[in-house]
Homo-oligomer: A and B are copies of this chain.
Amino acid sequence: MVEEQLIRTNYPEFEPELVKNIADVAVVKMFEPGDYLMKTGQHFRNVILITQGIVKVYREDDEGNEFLMYYLESGQACALSMICAARFEASQLMAKAETKVEVLTVPLAKMDEWMAKYKSWYYFVLQNYRARFDEVLNTLDHVAFRNMDERLVFFLKRYSDTHKTKNIKQSITDIASELNSSREVISRLLKKLSENGVVKLSKDHIELLDLSAYLR
């Protein structure tokens, strides 16, 4: 049982009756930074709706590198949770809380029921798939066609947009891991970017200045 207001704030597009339904059956769960929401090979019994915080969705390789797929924030659902849940299939992705995260979990069966019943839910689910698909395509584009410097800028921008800050507080080592590159390369590229006035390097964070030269 959940406060309806919490749902309305984060999912304003849901129709009133749906909100009431969610409030009835959803369970709130909290995650601390670093907690896993989902691991490779795991199965789902719930749909996960994010109401607070940022979730990092990534793929892990043999050496433990965490290759970033996309971030999820409040107002979004874990598309994979829906898609896997719907077919009782295992996920190929990992999802980890970047910040303190609050989610609503809704039993699987409800997802199917609501798809038929509520247009707003139906569109929400489809829109979510579509958005996630696009993000993966975008990531793929960058890996396939761009050099590391552009990919780095793309990462910084994505981080900045999602975290709503110009200051990236993440170690160079971690950034390298998310781009499946190496610390040394990222370090050198950042140096070049700061020489060009694109970023400003500070002791414990990277500040974004002007990405315009890099975006296309």
When distances are taken between beta carbons in the complex, the residues of chain B under 8 Å from A105 are: none
Partner of A87, one of B83, B84, B130, B140: B130
Cα(A93)–Cα(B134), bound, Å: 10
- B59 and A126 within 8 A (CB): no
Cα(A127)–Cα(B82), bound, Å: 11
For A127, A141, A144, which residue has the most chain B Cβ atoms within 10 angstroms? A144
Known: A116-B115, A141-B59. A133 touches B136 (CB 8 A): yes
Partner of A84, one of B84, B116, B130, B143: B130
Cα(A112)–Cα(B120), bound, Å: 12
When distances are taken between beta carbons in the complex, the residues of chain B under 8 Å from A67 are: 144-145
Verify if A61 is at the interface (C-beta below 8 Å from B): yes
- B136 and A83 within 8 A (CB): no
- B93 and A130 within 8 A (CB): no
When distances are taken between beta carbons in the complex, the residues of chain B under 8 Å from A69 are: 140
When distances are taken between beta carbons in the complex, the residues of chain B under 8 Å from A112 are: 122
Cα(A123)–Cα(B116), bound, Å: 12
Partner of A145, one of B61, B115, B117, B144: B61
- A137 and B59 within 8 A (CB): yes
- B83 and A130 within 8 A (CB): yes
Partner of A134, one of B79, B92, B143: B92
> Given A69-B140, A116-B117, 4 other A-B contacts at CB below 8 A?
A115-B115, A129-B129, A136-B137, A145-B180
What are the 5 A-B residue pairs with the smallest beta carbon separation, nearest first?
A116-B116, A83-B130, A140-B140, A86-B126, A143-B143
Q: Which residues of A contact B (CB under 8 A)?
A: 59, 61-62, 67, 69, 79-80, 83-84, 86-87, 89, 92-93, 112, 115-117, 122-123, 126-127, 129-130, 132-134, 136-137, 139-141, 143-145, 180
The contact sample of 6 A-B pairs, CB cut-off 8 A, is: A59-B140, A59-B144, A79-B133, A86-B126, A89-B130, A92-B137
